[in-house]
């Protein structure tokens, strides 16, 4: 499972500032859905640089982040967020309770069973767990252009990169962990569609923040990104990316 690969799970701190610049945000409709029952006390698991937590704070929520990497946490704190550095499975709540536990682009780095159990411990009865991911859908012409490049320079990356359209089992694993905890009602899955335009530089900057690219040997990563950049330049230097933000939510019983 992905959470067991700690070299990938904890690879983001080395590119923390780039991550904060390059990673996409989340649609306002998602935030509406998370807060539809009036949640105000939020625990954001794997908060990273605070991209999602800042959206919740802007809606008036009191947000506490838990983040494994101190370098990522530092950037989140610079946004005015409170962050405690720990793996969620090891983090100690000290009796604190929350209305909402979230995880933005991070729950697959948490043990799904231990994570759901810990979330249940800190949620008030009636509170909710809401975990979500941005899943990318490359335009067909871009996918066809990049596929032979990855086959040649990064075959393992194309096999599991969600950014390149691969779909792993994170949703199924998450749903199973929630169900196995016995502490939640039936899970609901909701999707939110949106899009974003990328030029060559912006796309390469984001690619380099993903663990499947970041953990490549530096020389291989440079060759791969250079070839991807040349390919995008060859089709005009930009494209429109379709995203689907997938939310899995369940209420504490």
Q: Look at residue 158 in the predicted model and tell me its pLDDT.
A: 67
Cut 0.75: pTM above it: yes
Q: Look at residue 159 in the predicted model and tell me its pLDDT.
A: 66
Tell me the residue range of the domain where 21 lies. Answer: 2-251
242: left (phi over 0), alpha (psi -120 to 50) or beta: beta
Q: Look at residue 7 in the predicted model and tell me its pLDDT.
A: 72
**Residue tagged 């494994």 (tokens):** 68
Supply the mean pLDDT for the chain.
94
The count of structural domains within the chain is 1
CATH of the domain at 162: 3.40.50.150
Q: Look at residue 226 in the predicted model and tell me its pLDDT.
A: 98
Low-confidence ranges of the chain (pLDDT < 50): none
Q: Look at residue 114 in the predicted model and tell me its pLDDT.
A: 96
DSSP per residue, the chain: -GGG-HHHHT-GGGGHHHHHHHS----HHHHHHHTTT---EEEEET-TTSHHHHHHHHTT-EEEEEES-HHHHHHHHHTT-EEEES-TTT---TT--EEEEEEES-GGGS-HHHHHHHHHHHEEEEEEEEEEEEEEE--HHHHHHHHHHHHHH-HHHHHH-GGGT---SHHHHHHHHHHHHS-B---EEEEEEEEEEEEHHHHHHHHTTSHHHHTS-HHHHHHHHHHHHHHHHHTTSEEEEEEEEEEEEEEB-
pLDDT tens column, 97-108: 999 999 999 999
């Amino acid at each position: 499972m992905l959470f067991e690969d700690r070299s990938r799970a904890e690879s983001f701190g080395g590119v923390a500032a780039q991550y904060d610049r390059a990673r996409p945000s989340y649609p306002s409709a998602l935030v509406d859905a998370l807060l539809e029952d009036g949640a105000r006390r939020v625990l954001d698991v794997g908060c990273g640089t605070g991209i999602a937590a800042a959206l919740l704070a802007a809606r008036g929520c009191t947000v506490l982040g838990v983040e494994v990497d101190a370098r990522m946490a530092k950037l989140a704190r610079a946004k005015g967020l409170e962050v405690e550095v720990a793996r969620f499975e090891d983090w100690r709540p000290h009796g604190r309770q929350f209305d909402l536990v979230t995880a933005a682009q991070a729950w697959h780095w948490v043990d799904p069973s231990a994570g759901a159990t810990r979330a249940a411990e800190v949620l008030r009865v009636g509170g909710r767990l809401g975990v979500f991911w941005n899943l990318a859908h490359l335009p067909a012409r871009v996918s066809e252009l990049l596929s032979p490049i990855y086959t040649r320079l990064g075959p393992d990356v194309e096999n599991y990169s969600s950014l390149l359209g691969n779909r792993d089992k994170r949703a199924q694993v998450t749903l199973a962990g929630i169900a196995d905890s016995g502490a939640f009602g039936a899970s609901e899955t909701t999707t939110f569609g949106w899009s974003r335009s990328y030029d060559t530089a912006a796309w390469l900057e984001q690619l380099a923040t993903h663990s499947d690219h970041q953990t490549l040997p530096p020389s291989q990563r440079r060759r791969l990104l250079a070839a991807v950049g040349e390919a995008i330049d060859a089709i005009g230097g930009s494209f429109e990316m379709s995203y689907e933000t997938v939310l899995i939510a369940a209420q504490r019983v």
